[in-house]
Structure 1
Amino acid sequence: MGSPANDSDEPLTPAGRLFLQPETNQIIHCVIGLKNPIDIHAMKAEILNSLMLKHPRFTSIMVRDHRGFEHWRRTQVDIDRHVVIIDHPVSAAADDQSAINEYLSELSIDASGLSADKPLWEIHILKAHKCGIFRIHHSLGDGISLMSLLLANCRKVNDPDAMPTVVSFGGTKSNGRNWMDWRNLWDFVRMVWFSFIFVMEFIVRCLWVRDRKTPVSGGAGVELWPRKMATARFLLEDMKALKKAVVNATINDILFAIISCGLSRYLDFRAPNELKDGLRITGIAMVNLRSQQGLQVLSDLMKGNSGTRWGNKFGMFLLPIYYQRSNISDPLEYLKRAKQMIDRKKQSLEGHFSYKIGNFVMSNLGAKFASMLNYRVLCNTTFTISNVVGPQEEIMIAGNPVTYLRANNSALPHALTLNMVSYAGMADMQVQVAKDIIPDPEFLCKCFEDALLELKKHATLKN
């Protein structure tokens, strides 16, 4: 039964409604490692005084009216219902990181675990592992909004009164210009051509075209399968050293080159001589569509200013990689191909199209149809990737220095999900897998780490 509507109720956005559908129900996990033992009273006090509890999304429950439409309704927050304290070790694993990853693996297939009779967020404090996990429903906002809000409650270790500084956020950032900004005819023609090609490809991926089966393929129903998780760790210094090897290369280009090279290495091990060179394996990357980037726009996010509004404002890129046997003579070809492809994607309107068509379908055909299309594009591709750039100086929360920042989300039909967050000179990539398909995520992480070292070695030799 629906609830009578209140004048103060706020309807959910189309994207927010999408993330409440059974096929696309998603929870984001932000993981914070801490240097010192966690003071529960200090942490609760920090939460009560935080910007999070001043934001209406985090102080509202989701209700449905008599027509079945979802709304946000303000309520009182009982902090004790949102903070889950676990005193004992969560696993018999030998080290903290493995234990935390096991715990996250269990959370990743528990998308229904946030009770609808309270605001849709929780904080799990793993005292034995000096770790906090912010569990936030995707309908409240995307990774950019949520990481901005999280970091706004942190302070620099070397300047306790200052908030962290972040140059930019997001996965593969879409070119925010529209056609009026193109300065010459050739740029305009390229934008139109690439937009046409990539938009048509996106449409057919939503409908029927799918990747060929490989040892890392998922499919319909795989989101319900048990998960395993491991962490690949990269030095940002090593990634930046690669930028000199290819003119104007970005960290996103390098990340995708690492994935291309590392996944080819892994497939060589899992299916030696069974896959053809050049086999396409398609990933989906989340695209931040906000015109401004970074933590400095938090006040605008909370006010809902144009271009920087709170919520879910992202599109999708289809990013293909092509399997190559590991005996490739020049591994830097992975980086050159990655840069060329991502540059073309940025010149197109694919990310904006995917966002606009999603809103159009939600508004005109309903959440179930939009959810079905979103689910199909996931089933027709192989993996998901996201990249969030965090602060590069050390930060603290409630006076406790942060040792690492990581993120992942609920399980998808993909058997492989990759979420990278950089912090204080390191980049940690959470590798989430369906363990019955990819039983050895630790080895896959090593393939990614070795790929970076191999690329760096060849870049050094060329310089």
Structure 2
Amino acid sequence: MGDEPLTPAGRLFLQPEMNQIIHCVLGLKNPIDIDSVKSLISDSVMLKHPRFTSLMVRDHRGVEHWRPTQIHIDNHLTVIHDPLSDHSSAINDYLADLCTTTISMDKPLWEIHILKAHKCVIFRIHHSLGDGISLMSMLLVGCRKVQDPHALPVISNPHSVKRTNFNFKDLLLTICFSFIYAIQFIVKCLWIRDYKSPITGGAGVELWPRKMATAFFSLEDMKTVKAAVPNATVNDVLFAIISSGISRYLDLREPSGLRDGIQLTGLAMVNLRKQSGLQDLPNLMRSNSVARWGNKFGVILLPIYYHRSSNSDPLEYLKRAKKMIDRKKQSLEAHFSYRIGDLIMSTFGPKSASFLNYRIICNTSFTISNVVGPQEEIMIGDNPITFLRANNSALPHALILNMVSYAGRADMQVQVAKDIIPDPEFLAKCFEDALLELKDRVTAKI
């Protein structure tokens, strides 16, 4: 088999400004046997996928290609035998350090880090290989349900973009919202920057040292809250938590310096695959599944508004979040961002596309992603998984939020540039308290 050209998105993520690594973190119940891990990797579906067994090379014109090569598992494996520290933040500290490092180009672009003393495995893949949905799919192919060791995990209710049949009114609203949000996207990309606040990053911040904390949420609590607003979703609740939590944090960090109601904009990743979910896991690597593997996501702008906590009804955050996200769903903003990026890549090349992507990150305030994991307990190699988390390497944003739900709970990784946001643990607690306040408000009304 000969060389295979990179996709436009793959080339984008190899540009210096967009050089991104995805980290998937698995906590395990039992001690980790290194020989068993090597055996699992050797027999895994991952090594049947050409992108994981190929080097990234450039031809005489500088165009990138995947070139098949021989895999030496030891070159991809880093084993830390001793405890990193006695602190509960040891894993997050290790992840924060990884966020400012890359993967050597002299091997296929993936690594596995094993923290034996912490019963933790960190799987790193370069974003040019695929996005978070692809990575989650591939990992789950090698897992089984704890209660049914022969059954594959099932992902239900994924947050992919779906188009439905419209009546004329819906069609007009879609055209209207799509036009408005497309203009806003272009303006935000080229000119308009968010108001400067204590969470604002900017050009060069991707190189700054990082810190990380984890916010823990109960999916049952999130479902209780969403029931308070008709047709609300867990995604609506998540964004309400983020809006309220950031307002809480800013109350402390700048109690009198921010005008009530100022807008801060988040960048959210949206899965664009036509087939919703990952139920067809065994066929993920087949040739007819190529459209599902890789980088198939769009970006939408999600504005939040700072409100002093003492003046805010917690449920107002949820109502505003639902109204705004409903409009985003009815628009084609995510598809527009994907198509315009693809057009710029094809017409002007990866440097231009990278420049515009970098600009929109610098002009907004934070990144958010939400990946739906299995809601029953699963195991890998007969070792039950206790938690699933994810994050990506540093961006010009000073605040990056990555949530993964698994087995009744959702863990959100709060990654920060520590010279801008020195206390991510407190920020994570602000998010946790925001959910508890929403829940208390809802239960008090019942």
Instruction: Please tell me the TM-score bracket, short chain as reference.
Output: over 0.9
Query: C-alpha displacement at 1:182, in angstroms?
Result: 4.0
Matches within 5 A, 1:138-153: 138-153=127-142
Change (3 A) 1:329 1:63: closer
- AA in 1 matched with 2:116: K
Matches within 5 A, 1:417-428: 417-428=400-411
69-78 or 160-169: bigger deviation: 160-169
Query: C-alpha displacement at 1:455, in angstroms?
Result: 0.4
Task: Look up the match of 1:84.
Answer: 78
Q: 2:9 aligns with which of 5, 12, 15?
A: 15
Partner SS state of residue 45, structure 1? helix
Task: Look up the match of 1:104.
Answer: 95
Partner SS state of residue 292, structure 1? coil
- Is 1:434 the equivalent of 2:417? yes
Instruction: Measure the CA separation in 2 of the matches of 1:385 and 1:329.
Output: 23
Partner SS state of residue 301, structure 2? strand
- Is 1:256 the equivalent of 2:243? no
Partner SS state of residue 417, structure 1? strand
- AA in 1 matched with 2:100: I
Task: Look up the match of 1:311.
Answer: 294
Matches within 5 A, 1:68-217: 68-90=62-84, 92-95=85-88, 98-111=89-102, 114-170=103-159, 173-174=160-161, 176-177=162-163, 182-217=165-200
Instruction: Measure the CA separation in 2 of the matches of 1:183 and 1:131.
Output: 47
Residues 86 and 126, structure 1, Cα contact 8 Å, conserved in 2: yes
Residues 300 and 309, structure 1, Cα contact 8 Å, conserved in 2: no
Instruction: Measure the CA separation in 2 of the matches of 1:378 and 1:251.
Output: 25
- Is 1:47 the equivalent of 2:36? no
Change (3 A) 1:185 1:238: same
Residues 290 and 307, structure 1, Cα contact 8 Å, conserved in 2: no
Alignment deviations for residues 282-304 of structure 1 (CA, whole Å, 9 cap, x no partner): 00000100012222233554235
Partner SS state of residue 302, structure 1? coil
Matches within 5 A, 1:403-414: 403-414=386-397
TM-score of the aligned structures, taking structure 1 as reference length: 0.94
Partner SS state of residue 255, structure 1? helix
Instruction: Measure the CA separation in 2 of the matches of 1:199 and 1:122.
Output: 37
Change (3 A) 1:169 1:136: farther
Partner SS state of residue 394, structure 2? coil
Instruction: Measure the CA separation in 1 of the matches of 2:433 and 2:122.
Output: 29
TM-score of the aligned structures, taking structure 2 as reference length: 0.98
- Is 1:227 the equivalent of 2:210? yes
Query: C-alpha displacement at 1:86, in angstroms?
Result: 1.0
Instruction: Measure the CA separation in 2 of the matches of 1:93 and 1:213.
Output: 37
Alignment deviations for residues 369-422 of structure 1 (CA, whole Å, 9 cap, x no partner): 100000000000000000011011111111111000000000000000000001
Residues 138 and 284, structure 2, Cα contact 8 Å, conserved in 1: no
- AA in 2 matched with 1:127: K
Query: C-alpha displacement at 1:107, in angstroms?
Result: 0.3
Alignment gaps of 5+ in structure 2: none
Matches within 5 A, 1:309-388: 309-388=292-371
Instruction: Measure the CA separation in 2 of the matches of 1:169 and 1:51.
Output: 23
Alignment deviations for residues 229-253 of structure 1 (CA, whole Å, 9 cap, x no partner): 0000001110010121001111110
Task: Look up the match of 1:37.
Answer: 31
Instruction: Measure the CA separation in 2 of the matches of 1:153 and 1:216.
Output: 38
What's the RMSD between the two structures over aligned residues? Answer: 1.3
Partner SS state of residue 448, structure 1? helix
Residues 382 and 416, structure 1, Cα contact 8 Å, conserved in 2: yes
**Consecutive aligned runs of 4 or more in structure 1 exceeding 6 Å deviation:** none
Partner SS state of residue 141, structure 1? coil
Residues 192 and 363, structure 2, Cα contact 8 Å, conserved in 1: yes
Partner SS state of residue 56, structure 2? strand
Query: C-alpha displacement at 1:209, in angstroms?
Result: 0.5
Query: C-alpha displacement at 1:116, in angstroms?
Result: 1.2
Residues 287 and 314, structure 1, Cα contact 8 Å, conserved in 2: yes
Instruction: Measure the CA separation in 2 of the matches of 1:344 and 1:14.
Output: 29
Q: 1:457 aligns with which of 437, 440, 444?
A: 440
Instruction: Measure the CA separation in 2 of the matches of 1:137 and 1:34.
Output: 23
Alignment gaps of 5+ in structure 1: 1-6
Partner SS state of residue 327, structure 1? helix
Query: C-alpha displacement at 1:306, in angstroms?
Result: 7.0
Give the percent of matched residue pairs that are identical in Structure 1 and Structure 2: 70
- AA in 2 matched with 1:150: L
Query: C-alpha displacement at 1:305, in angstroms?
Result: 3.7
Change (3 A) 1:208 1:301: farther
Instruction: Measure the CA separation in 2 of the matches of 1:146 and 1:168.
Output: 18
Residues 59 and 76, structure 1, Cα contact 8 Å, conserved in 2: yes
Instruction: Measure the CA separation in 1 of the matches of 2:289 and 2:75.
Output: 34
Query: C-alpha displacement at 1:329, in angstroms?
Result: 4.5
Partner SS state of residue 14, structure 2? coil
Partner SS state of residue 23, structure 1? helix
Query: C-alpha displacement at 1:168, in angstroms?
Result: 3.8
Query: C-alpha displacement at 1:273, in angstroms?
Result: 1.6
Alignment deviations for residues 42-101 of structure 1 (CA, whole Å, 9 cap, x no partner): 1111111111011111111111111111111111111111111111122x3423xx0000
Across the two proteins, how many residue pairs are aligned to each other?
Answer: 446
Q: 1:287 aligns with which of 237, 247, 270?
A: 270
Change (3 A) 1:256 1:304: farther
